[in-house]
A and B are shown apart, each in its own frame.
Chain A
């Protein structure tokens, strides 16, 4: 009975608590221990399965973006340039679009930005944000070579600076990530 009253009171408190939006913290968040990544239905430009399984054995920078997210779009050119450099470090860069309706928004955005290296990857089931607990975009998940999330970067990072190079070196080499490797937030210019 008391337990029930307690739970009811807690529920009431929950309702009365302010719903003010907590400022989402940005930057690098290194997990205490690697987290498994739920299976995602990722598709390529032809609608074929292009999940993370194909990248097993390699570290991955999995960036979540959407065409309606201005800072995401502004970050894409840097990720596009980063892709070959990261590959040399053993890190695959995957930019996963959360846009509804398949690849149309991706094709248009990539064309507008003259994206060269990034592949079209879409979230077919539209469940990636939920499964990966991404409440804000852009967010980049850093996965080790066993496909486990070891850290995530919330916001647009300066992916081409020395810190990012250090971070990706460590990720590619399977070494522990440390807070001093955190790249600064990117200074974004208006999306083209």
Chain B
């Protein structure tokens, strides 16, 4: 009983702490909006694509960029291993990598880079299209000032979650980019059962 008394206070302290942290404040404001899976982008062959073109499939979506001068995240590796775990169910899923760096990630460049991950579809677009897609997914990104003298050697800070969207593009789940591939596959599988897809 004594324990239950302290719990709200602990929660209140946590909430205050989180409210005080700068970036979290923006996240709290963002939390009012739902994640929406709508987009109009360009695929690796230069064709315009919308989320509706992937209708009927569960979508795994990540935002990022291919230019990694220092260290490269292994999230695409995670995605491709997760897809292997899905086995035959892979056909019910589409995996999308949306660049937040359309300036460097042209369709041709994405195609070359993603040759190592043939089951992942790279999407780019105009700066406005990328901004609109990111806004819908509540993804934030920001081009960073250049440190050296090469104006093209900029980095882009960005949200790095893995999104799982349902067959019509509605939000199902958001997982950390460092998720284990089997956990990601399990989560996707849980949504492939028709009954659970509406949860």
A→B interface (CB under 8 Å): 1-3, 5-6, 9-10, 13, 15-21, 23-24, 26, 66-72, 98-100, 105, 126-127, 129-130, 134-139, 154-156, 185, 188
Contact B159 A1 (CB under 8 A): no
Chain B residues 19 to 43 lying within 8 A of chain A, measured CB to CB, are: 23-24, 26-28, 31
User: Which residues of chain A are within 8 angstroms of B15 by Cβ–Cβ distance?
Assistant: 13
Query: With A2-B7, A17-B18, A135-B178 as given contacts, are A68 and B116 in contact (CB-CB < 8 Å)?
Result: yes
User: Which residues of chain B are within 8 angstroms of A70 by Cβ–Cβ distance?
Assistant: 68-69, 72
Contact B157 A21 (CB under 8 A): yes
Query: With A18-B159, A71-B69 as given contacts, are A100 and B80 in contact (CB-CB < 8 Å)?
Result: yes
User: Which residues of chain A are within 8 angstroms of B136 by Cβ–Cβ distance?
Assistant: none
How long is the Cα–Cα vector from A66 to B157 in the complex, in angstroms?
Answer: 22
User: Which residues of chain A are within 8 angstroms of B73 by Cβ–Cβ distance?
Assistant: 21, 24, 135-136
The total of chain B residues at the interface (CB under 8 A) is 44
Closest residue of A by beta carbon distance from B76: A68
**C-beta contact mask, B160-186 vs A, less than 8 Å → 1, else 0?**
110000000000001011101100000
Contact of A137 among B4, B7, B74, B80 (CB under 8 A): B74
Query: With A5-B7, A15-B174, A17-B18 as given contacts, are A135 and B74 in contact (CB-CB < 8 Å)?
Result: yes
How long is the Cα–Cα vector from A1 to B68 in the complex, in angstroms?
Answer: 47
Q: Closest Cβ of chain A: how far from B127's Cβ, in Å?
A: 20
Does any Cβ of A come within 8 Å of B78's Cβ?
Answer: yes
What are the 10 closest A-B residue pairs judged by CB atoms, nearest first? Answer: A21-B160, A19-B159, A2-B4, A68-B116, A19-B161, A69-B72, A136-B71, A18-B27, A2-B7, A18-B23
Contact B77 A98 (CB under 8 A): yes
Contact of B116 among A16, A100, A129, A135 (CB under 8 A): A100
User: Which residues of chain A are within 8 angstroms of B31 by Cβ–Cβ distance?
Assistant: 15-16
Does any Cβ of A come within 8 Å of B84's Cβ?
Answer: yes
Contact A13 B18 (CB under 8 A): yes
Contact B28 A129 (CB under 8 A): no
User: Which residues of chain A are within 8 angstroms of B174 by Cβ–Cβ distance?
Assistant: 15, 19
Contact of A68 among B10, B72, B140 (CB under 8 A): B72
User: Which residues of chain B are within 8 angstroms of A10 by Cβ–Cβ distance?
Assistant: 14
User: Which residues of chain B are within 8 angstroms of A19 by Cβ–Cβ distance?
Assistant: 139, 159-161, 174, 176-177
Contact A137 B18 (CB under 8 A): no
Contact B116 A99 (CB under 8 A): yes
Q: Closest Cβ of chain A: how far from B134's Cβ, in Å?
A: 12
Does any Cβ of A come within 8 Å of B88's Cβ?
Answer: no
Q: Closest Cβ of chain A: how far from B46's Cβ, in Å?
A: 21
How long is the Cα–Cα vector from A130 to B180 in the complex, in angstroms?
Answer: 6
Closest residue of B by beta carbon distance from A5: B7
Contact of A71 among B72, B78, B139 (CB under 8 A): B72
11 more CB-based (< 8 A) A-B contacts, given A71-B70, A98-B77, A188-B69 = A6-B11, A9-B14, A17-B18, A68-B117, A98-B74, A99-B116, A126-B81, A126-B84, A134-B74, A135-B73, A135-B178
Closest residue of B by beta carbon distance from A135: B178
How long is the Cα–Cα vector from A152 to B8 in the complex, in angstroms?
Answer: 41
**C-beta contact mask, B70-97 vs A, less than 8 Å → 1, else 0?**
1111111110110010000000000000
Q: Closest Cβ of chain B: how far from A186's Cβ, in Å?
A: 10
Closest residue of A by beta carbon distance from B178: A135
